[in-house]
Structure 1
Amino acid sequence: MTDLLSKFDPLIAERQALLDTGVRDPFSIVMDEVKSPTLAVIKGKETILLGTYNYMGMTFDPDVIQAGKDALDNFGSGTTGSRVLNGTYQGHKECEEALKAFYGTEHAMVFSTGYQANLGMMSTLAGKGEYIILDADSHASIYDGCALGNAEIVRFRHNSVEDLDKRLGRLPAEAGKLVVLEGVYSMVGDIAPLKEMVAVAKKHGAMILCDEAHGMGFFGANGRGVFEEAGVEKDVDFVVGTFSKSVGTVGGFCVSNHPKFEVLRLVCRPYVFTASLPPSVVATAAASIRKLMHAGAKRQHLWENSRRLHGGLRALGFTLGTETPQSAIIAVMLPDQEQAVGMWAALLELGLYVNMARPPATPAGTFLLRCSLCAEHSAEQVEQILGMFAAAGRAVGVIPPAV
């Protein structure tokens, strides 16, 4: 009998070799206790969280928590059904109303996860004989949605307006086209040149979907995302997002002003054939989204944190993924897995949790530590974080010793 898991033997051996060095597994961390959006207990040690995507710190907001408790008491623990059958409760509609108010759109559709939102939109919007044109660095959920559908897939070089233009120009003029962009790319935290890309897409008659998973909450005057800050709201046809970043819970969504949008509830398989979110979850999401509409002070503080951490890390001698702070994600680039794991472990020992990323989540040969800042990180915590990076970097040999 052929062992179907034998194809993963090289990865199993690589992971075991890593564990044999005595380092903790970077991909099996357990939060024993979570005290706040910025503090947790890991292996008995109080640890600053710098790798949670909790950008706006909404997970412990008292109003958000109370909304979830009330819904749990009034509607029970779950729906046990799909949105198109028995799984739409009052709270699901209220959550969609909150999204429509936040984005200023006519339509909003809530999915059970952000992954499913992309899975659903990619596989449904473009079909046989049509094209999806996507950035080569697109998120796995976008690629997986493309694989689920029947459209032809065309990739262009990351953030290259010129390559997007060239590839669109090669496609049949009469064919349906969907250009898929992300406001913020999650690996290194760089943003897309949306103004220029949207202009190119429109020139070639393509529709546009923008994923604002990592931009919602703190880009733009209303916190809608990079597409708002770029001034292209009227030109983007669909905006996909998630509740698991700035909103502080779980779920996904798509908003749009397209007059035929509601038909997607009947034809989008990842929406139709899965259970809907529990009432407590959509209640927390709705409460959080309404508060994010008035979170200007939080947005300002988050940007202050980003500028301070980025500038401080560069001054210490670290190589970063972007020349300037472009988002709440700051990537510390490392030459190999050994140094990446060494830095990650040293930081955790000092009381700081960050994400370690390696292939296949990153391009081949790319190893990095991904820092995700939170609006609830105090200025003092950011200084602590810089001190921890300095100590770990010098101990591992990533930066020179202090003079």
Structure 2
Amino acid sequence: MSIFDKYAAFLERYQMAEMMPKNPLGMRFDEILTPTRARVDGREIILAGTNNYLGLTFDEDAKAAAAEAIAHHGTGTTGSRMANGSYAEHQDLEAEIADWLGMKSCIVFTTGYQTNLAAIGTLAGRDDLILIDADSHASIYDACRMSDAKMVRFKHNRPDDLDQKLERLLPETKGSALVVVEGLYSMFGDIAPLGEFAAVCEKHGAYFFVDEAHSVGVYGEEGRGVADMQGVLDKVDFFSGTFSKSLASVGGFCTSRHAEFDRIRSIMRPYTFTASASPATIASTRVTLAKLREGEGLRQNLWARAEQLHAGLSEMGFTLCAEPSPIVAVRRSSDLETVMGWQQLMQAGVYVNLAVPPATPKGACLLRLSLSAAHTEDDIDAILGAFAQLAEQGAVAVAAE
């Protein structure tokens, strides 16, 4: 018996993917040319699946700051901040993020995934209760598994279901309740009714944790996310985000309006036992954070392109999963149809994300696009032209769940 036998179904799917003209499960880019262009097999393609929402990955100021940081501090920190200490720049970035969001404390992590793992996994203990949206990101589910708390799911974007579960479960809970939702959900591109969730948390005395990984830079004044847009940022106890999307880097952060949050960093195992972010990463992130805060023009162009794409796909009859947002998910009827559609888009020079079970909520099969402020009107027209070829094959509409 092989240790790989339990993955037989996945390995069979991967072997099939390897036989296709392009392997969607092992995509290789020969060169990234710009925030919206790459070279594959000597051919230039449009990138429409990178989460590069503000298009800052090639920002000249950010690149210069990263190069200067390497010159002054070297390429890596070679250890965790608990073992090797913090560079001044790590602490400066934490202070800048806390100021931006009006929070009392902030902890910067090496990855966005690690952020949720450390924060949620440490905040909730043995006698506590974690309630999470059923469509939560894998990092949230894994954080719940890492904690000793009882984890309960509530129906996606349903404050009433959360209310009922808190009403039933709180009397038998010895500790605290932590409610975890996202601002913008990464697969379907739908946003959460954070105001209603905040009201339910306040009613029951539950702590409110919002993951704004995909909504930072996109929503709200100075890009402070959905909570700010909906006027409830001051009701959020813990706010997590990532550097790898709008901030065009790698890393993550969690802020809190509770000063005690900063003091528990030393007992967060993913923080304590992971090497800290490189000097170049921190330096470029500080530059892009400043640009994000001032980037109203970038946000306006991003939204114009999102609405252009959403309207064009809707007119062709494609079934879309949510209202316009920088994430546009096109529902397909099966794994095979989704993979073949992805192949055809690649042949037409457009890269999107292939999203199929088990990585998607409710077993959905999706062609997922994420737009950038760097996309032009002509870029969107080209993307729509590629989808028009799919539409010509018929069966563009799929019943939404």
Matched-pair contact (CA < 8 Å) for 2:116–2:143: yes
Counterpart-to-counterpart distance in 1, 2:27 and 2:13? 18
Equivalent residue letter for 1:229: M
Alignment of 1:251 onto 2:251: yes
Equivalent residue letter for 1:292: L
Matched-pair contact (CA < 8 Å) for 1:114–1:244: yes
Question: Residue 298 of structure 2: SS of its match in structure 1?
Answer: helix
Equivalent residue, structure 2, for 1:331: 329
Equivalent residue letter for 2:366: L
Counterpart-to-counterpart distance in 1, 2:147 and 2:267? 12
Matched-pair contact (CA < 8 Å) for 2:21–2:343: yes
Structure 1 residues 316-346: Cα deviation after superposition (integer angstroms, max 9, x where no partner): 1111111x21x21000000001110111001
Counterpart-to-counterpart distance in 1, 2:2 and 2:396? 45
Matched-pair contact (CA < 8 Å) for 1:130–1:151: yes
Matched-pair contact (CA < 8 Å) for 1:84–1:265: no
Alignment of 1:394 onto 2:392: yes
Distance apart, 1:377 and its partner CA: 0.3
Counterpart-to-counterpart distance in 2, 1:203 and 1:103? 24
Identical amino acids, percent of aligned pairs? 45
Q: Residue 37 and residue 87 in structure 1: after superposition, are their counterparts in 2 closer, same or farther (change >3 A)?
A: farther
Counterpart-to-counterpart distance in 2, 1:144 and 1:252? 16
Gap regions ≥5 residues in structure 1? none
Matched-pair contact (CA < 8 Å) for 1:102–1:289: no
Counterpart-to-counterpart distance in 1, 2:386 and 2:38? 16
Equivalent residue, structure 1, for 2:7: 8
Counterpart-to-counterpart distance in 1, 2:339 and 2:85? 43
Alignment of 1:58 onto 2:45: no
Matched-pair contact (CA < 8 Å) for 1:87–1:275: no
Equivalent residue, structure 1, for 2:320: 320
Distance apart, 1:121 and its partner CA: 1.0
Question: Residue 153 of structure 2: SS of its match in structure 1?
Answer: strand
Distance apart, 1:122 and its partner CA: 1.4
Equivalent residue, structure 1, for 2:205: 205
Counterpart-to-counterpart distance in 2, 1:45 and 1:264? 50
Matched-pair contact (CA < 8 Å) for 1:132–1:154: yes
Question: After the TM superposition, which of the residue ranges 208-217 and 252-261 deviates more from structure 2?
Answer: 252-261
Counterpart-to-counterpart distance in 1, 2:113 and 2:318? 32
Question: After the TM superposition, which of the residue ranges 8-17 and 208-217 deviates more from structure 2?
Answer: 8-17
Equivalent residue, structure 2, for 1:242: 242
Equivalent residue, structure 1, for 2:186: 186
Matched-pair contact (CA < 8 Å) for 2:17–2:25: no
> TM-score when scaled to structure 1?
0.95
Distance apart, 1:259 and its partner CA: 2.1
Counterpart-to-counterpart distance in 2, 1:53 and 1:172? 38
Distance apart, 1:87 and its partner CA: 4.5
Gap regions ≥5 residues in structure 2? none
Alignment of 1:39 onto 2:46: no
Equivalent residues in 2 for 1:256-275 (5 A)?
A: 256-275=256-275
Equivalent residue letter for 2:194: L
Equivalent residue, structure 2, for 1:128: 126
Question: Residue 15 of structure 1: SS of its match in structure 2?
Answer: helix
Distance apart, 1:154 and its partner CA: 0.9
Equivalent residue, structure 1, for 2:28: 30
Equivalent residue letter for 1:226: V
Distance apart, 1:392 and its partner CA: 3.2
Equivalent residue letter for 1:99: I
Equivalent residue, structure 1, for 2:67: 69
Equivalent residue, structure 1, for 2:297: 297
Structure 1 residues 90-140: Cα deviation after superposition (integer angstroms, max 9, x where no partner): 221222122123212221110010000000011100100100010000000
Structure 1 residues 247-296: Cα deviation after superposition (integer angstroms, max 9, x where no partner): 00100100112021221211111111110011001111111101111001
Counterpart-to-counterpart distance in 2, 1:249 and 1:132? 30
Distance apart, 1:364 and its partner CA: 4.7
Equivalent residue letter for 1:9: A
Matched-pair contact (CA < 8 Å) for 2:390–2:396: no
Counterpart-to-counterpart distance in 1, 2:159 and 2:278? 41
Question: After the TM superposition, which of the residue ranges 122-131 and 257-266 deviates more from structure 2?
Answer: 257-266
Equivalent residue, structure 1, for 2:310: 310
Equivalent residue letter for 2:60: P
Counterpart-to-counterpart distance in 2, 1:175 and 1:258? 18
Matched-pair contact (CA < 8 Å) for 2:184–2:192: yes
Distance apart, 1:363 and its partner CA: 3.1
Equivalent residue, structure 2, for 1:104: 102
Structure 1 residues 156-190: Cα deviation after superposition (integer angstroms, max 9, x where no partner): 00001110100011123463010001000101100
Counterpart-to-counterpart distance in 2, 1:18 and 1:282? 37
Matched-pair contact (CA < 8 Å) for 2:319–2:396: no
Question: Residue 247 of structure 1: SS of its match in structure 2?
Answer: coil
Matched-pair contact (CA < 8 Å) for 2:76–2:278: yes
Matched-pair contact (CA < 8 Å) for 1:249–1:284: yes
Counterpart-to-counterpart distance in 2, 1:14 and 1:40? 27
Q: What is the aligned length?
A: 395
Matched-pair contact (CA < 8 Å) for 1:64–1:284: yes
Structure 1 residues 31-68: Cα deviation after superposition (integer angstroms, max 9, x where no partner): 11111111111121101000000000110111111110
Equivalent residue, structure 1, for 2:227: 227
> TM-score when scaled to structure 2?
0.96
Structure 1 residues 335-391: Cα deviation after superposition (integer angstroms, max 9, x where no partner): 001110111001111110000001111135410011000011011111111111112
Question: Residue 50 of structure 2: SS of its match in structure 1?
Answer: coil
Question: Residue 210 of structure 1: SS of its match in structure 2?
Answer: strand
Name the Cα RMSD after superposition: 1.3
Matched-pair contact (CA < 8 Å) for 2:17–2:24: no
